[in-house]
Amino acid sequence: MKKIERKDFLKIGGGAVLGGLTGYVFSGAPFLGMQWLFEWTQDQHVPPGGSESYLKTLCEACPDKCEMSIRMIGERAVKIETSHSGCPFGQNALQLLYHAERIDAPLKRTGKKGTVKASAFERVSWESALKDISVRMNKLIGEKKGHLIAGINKDYNLSAALLDRMLKAAGSSSAFYEPSLKSLTQAALGGYVDYDFANTDYILSFGARLLEGWGSPCAMNRAFVDWKKKGTKLVHVDTIRTRTASIADQWLPIKPGTEAVLALGIANILKRMGRAAGGYDWMAVVNAYTPEKTAEITGLQVKQIEEVANAFARARNPIAVAGRGGKGVSSSSAEIMAVYALNAMVGSRGAVLKRTAGLGEPALSANAAASLREAKRHAGLDDFIKNGNFEILFVNEADPLYKSAYGAELEGKLETALVVAVTPLLNDTALYADYVFPSLSFLEADTSAGSAPLKPYRKAIHAGDAIIGLAKMVDDIKGSFPWNAYVDLVKTYGAPIGAGGVNYNAQVLKEFLSSLEKTLKASEEFPLSLVPVELTFVGDGDGLAFPFVLKSIDEKTYSQGKLWVQINRDTADREGVSEGERIDIESSRGEIGSVRAHLTDTVAPDTIAVPLGFGHKAYTRYARDKGVNPKEIMANDIDPLTGAANWWLTRVKIS
């Protein structure tokens, strides 16, 4: 064997070191090491990778049932793709799914009601929560007091239908829906209006901000894209130059709150053309609203009104749309009837009354039948909050404490009752709940097309399952719930059926017009009008819990802790208000303080536009204590048919 010289030894050693270094460099290890070092020193979060896949589901929030595609990385959902959808709201779904404050298990109250802290609740099991509530329900129904069990739903959906059925079977008539386009229209007309926006050629919108979250945005946006191509004309009646008013082919800048009068004025002109609807008494009221009188009240010109009426009558398939607002709608029953009457007068085929087929009437036990005889009937939610009483209240996704003009009255009543809130996030009403049931986002729920793409969040379950589970534990009710889970109903529920004819109630119309006359009179004390505006994603408050929605709010709506209201320039000059100034707004009900004034001529003279959706007391750290809730000072006259407060127009002053 050859002896290794010192020189060779160094050569071999050097070669080995060189080879090792080369290998190390080319292996990528130093780069990876550097990357780790950077991540570690910068305390940077690195989203874990995983295999990419796409899951499909349906969004059943509206009748359009859009197909949604969810981009998955491993087990994580990272993006919602909605390439065939016209609905913007699907983009929010992941923020609810993975919300930092999502409720992960049924909660039972241990602390004082009304406290914001999560420590006021303890996590309990579904069995113990349902058992406790069912014991209370059994006792109440056994005492023939089932009518003291009430429920408030947000949307017309399967879980709401199940809650309605449970309340009916308990002998209660207190199943209410939050005032919305659908619930108000159903109360006023006996069915919701299915507008055919895709095939109409003339749309006359009475304050319905069609392109700002109104109705079913999906169908609306799809139809909107085609309007220009087809030559469909949109005429929008509004006090504020909103985006819908800017997109419209014609905008009628009306005095706030006088939409119903304009509808009657147009009906008056149509009547002279030989059209009629609504019976003798109704038409007698219409007769009084000549174009001249209408022009005087609405602030429009006689010529404008006549032109619109003529165009409406001449159009091939015109529709008149009622329901002022975007997501939050406030229209009196008289206004909804007056606008719908225009459709009837011209024989519109694009506005059809429909109802959703329910789950049928449950069989009543002797106890339930006895308590139903005791039950007081209320026209709607605000009427119930003001005049009704209850011992057990179910709140299904709704937030009446925040959204109702009677929130303060409800607060007192919630203190003493057993309140069960079904919601994925702790909203203002849930602050007064004794039990909070975590419910699902649509990504975790089964649809008519198939099973859910994602597993439910921790212990959250579908609201329908919670209600079925509870109903099965109540002796007088369980017979009416033959289903095991909501999935048994998901395929069949929700089919629209035709609704009967409209009863045009002339008495309600007369009473409304006389009260409107009083409101419209500019008083010395409250010279200004307050009307709401909305941002599409914030809506009437539901969107504010989502941090990406906060990112999209413009600086003249809410910035740096202050809500901005919009005031007409000349009016602001007269009132001595300058841009950005802090003002208080006072109505006969009270005062909202410390909002900033933005002077803009997009708002009518003598009018203040206030954004809805701000000023939550709870609803996660993102929505809490941001701005003020104008509902606190908004008008609260209760409508006789819808039972909802008509808060659209409020007389106010700046102080």
Partner 1 sequence: MAIDLDKCTGCGACAIACAQENNMPIFEDDSDIPKRVSFLELMKVTNDRDAKYPDVEVCYIPKMCQQCEGNDPKNPKPPCVSVCPVVATDVGDDGIVSQVWSRCIGCRYCQASCPYEARAFNWWKPRYEGDFKNSLNPEVSIASRGTVVKCQFCSHIWKRERDRAVENGVLDINAVTYTPACVASCPTKAFVFGDLNDPDSELCRLLEKEKDRKFRLVHTIDEKDEKTREKLMHIKNFPNPKVYYLTSKAWIREMMRFK
Residues 524-583 that bind partner 1 (CB under 8 A): 535-537, 547-556, 558-561, 568-569
User: Which residue number, 218 or 608, has a Cβ lying nearer to partner 1?
Assistant: 218
Q: How far apart are CA 498 and CA 195, in angstroms?
A: 13
Spatial contact of 67 and 60, defined as CB atoms under 8 Å apart: no
Q: How far apart are CA 178 and CA 329, in angstroms?
A: 10
User: Which residue number, 332 or 571, has a Cβ lying nearer to partner 1?
Assistant: 571
Which tokens is 17 given?
């070191």
User: Which residue number, 219 or 641, has a Cβ lying nearer to partner 1?
Assistant: 219
Spatial contact of 536 and 212, defined as CB atoms under 8 Å apart: yes
Integer angstrom CA distances of residue 76 from 218, 302, 459: 26, 60, 18
Residue type, 476: D
Look at residues 612, 596, 613 and name the one whose alpha carbon lies nearest to residue 559.
596
* Contacting range for partner 1; rule: CB under 8 A; set: 207-215, 397-405, 468-476, 484-492: 207-215
User: Which residue number, 92 or 185, has a Cβ lying nearer to partner 1?
Assistant: 92
Question: Min. distance of Cβ 604 from partner 1 in angstroms?
Answer: 6
Residues 452-491 that bind partner 1 (CB under 8 A): none
Question: Min. distance of Cβ 415 from partner 1 in angstroms?
Answer: 29
Residue 438 found at the interface with partner 1 (CB under 8 A): no
Spatial contact of 550 and 622, defined as CB atoms under 8 Å apart: yes
Question: Min. distance of Cβ 303 from partner 1 in angstroms?
Answer: 15
* Contacting range for partner 1; rule: CB under 8 A; set: 13-21, 114-122, 189-197, 224-232: 224-232
- Nearby residues of 343 by Cβ (< 8 Å), 6 or more positions away: 318, 319, 320, 350, 351
User: Which residue number, 88 or 496, has a Cβ lying nearer to partner 1?
Assistant: 88
Which tokens is 400 given?
């009446």
Helix %, strand %, coil % of the chain (to 5): 40, 20, 40
Question: Min. distance of Cβ 540 from partner 1 in angstroms?
Answer: 15
The count of other CB atoms within 10 Å of the CB of residue 230 is: 12
Residue 78 found at the interface with partner 1 (CB under 8 A): yes
Question: Min. distance of Cβ 296 from partner 1 in angstroms?
Answer: 17
User: Which residue number, 190 or 299, has a Cβ lying nearer to partner 1?
Assistant: 299
Residue among 145, 386, 626, 631 that touches partner 1 (CB under 8 A):
626
User: Which residue number, 238 or 382, has a Cβ lying nearer to partner 1?
Assistant: 238
The count of other CB atoms within 10 Å of the CB of residue 330 is: 28
Q: Please give the DSSP secondary-structure letter assigned to residue 146.
A: G
* Contacting range for partner 1; rule: CB under 8 A; set: 92-100, 179-187, 387-395, 498-506: 92-100
Spatial contact of 394 and 153, defined as CB atoms under 8 Å apart: no
Residues 390-429 that bind partner 1 (CB under 8 A): none
3-state class (DSSP) for residue 175 = strand
Q: Which residue has the tokens 């990876």?
A: 32
Q: How many residues bind partner 1 (CB under 8 A)?
A: 80
Say how far residue 92 (Cα) sits from the centre of its chain. 14
Q: Please give the DSSP secondary-structure letter assigned to residue 616.
A: B
Site string for partner 1, 226-265 (x = CB under 8 A): --x------------xxxxxxx---x-x------------
Residue among 60, 64, 85, 331 that touches partner 1 (CB under 8 A):
85
* Contacting range for partner 1; rule: CB under 8 A; set: 80-88, 130-138, 489-497, 588-596: 80-88
Which tokens is 395 given?
């709140």
Residue among 221, 310, 317, 594 that touches partner 1 (CB under 8 A):
221
Residue 432 found at the interface with partner 1 (CB under 8 A): no
Question: Min. distance of Cβ 240 from partner 1 in angstroms?
Answer: 9
Look at residues 607, 606, 609 and name the one whose alpha carbon lies nearest to residue 556.
609
User: Which residue number, 41 or 514, has a Cβ lying nearer to partner 1?
Assistant: 41
User: Which residue number, 461 or 467, has a Cβ lying nearer to partner 1?
Assistant: 461
- Nearby residues of 5 by Cβ (< 8 Å), 6 or more positions away: none
The count of other CB atoms within 10 Å of the CB of residue 126 is: 17
Q: How far apart are CA 397 and CA 116, in angstroms?
A: 18
Residue among 62, 77, 120, 485 that touches partner 1 (CB under 8 A):
77
Residues 16-75 that bind partner 1 (CB under 8 A): 38, 42-50, 73
Q: How far apart are CA 175 and CA 167, in angstroms?
A: 7
Question: Min. distance of Cβ 247 from partner 1 in angstroms?
Answer: 7
Question: Min. distance of Cβ 576 from partner 1 in angstroms?
Answer: 19
How many Å is the maximal CA-CA distance in the chain? 126
User: Which residue number, 242 or 404, has a Cβ lying nearer to partner 1?
Assistant: 242
Question: Min. distance of Cβ 47 from partner 1 in angstroms?
Answer: 4
Look at residues 539, 623, 529 and name the one whose alpha carbon lies nearest to residue 585.
529
Residue among 58, 61, 94, 148 that touches partner 1 (CB under 8 A):
94
User: Which residue number, 147 or 324, has a Cβ lying nearer to partner 1?
Assistant: 324
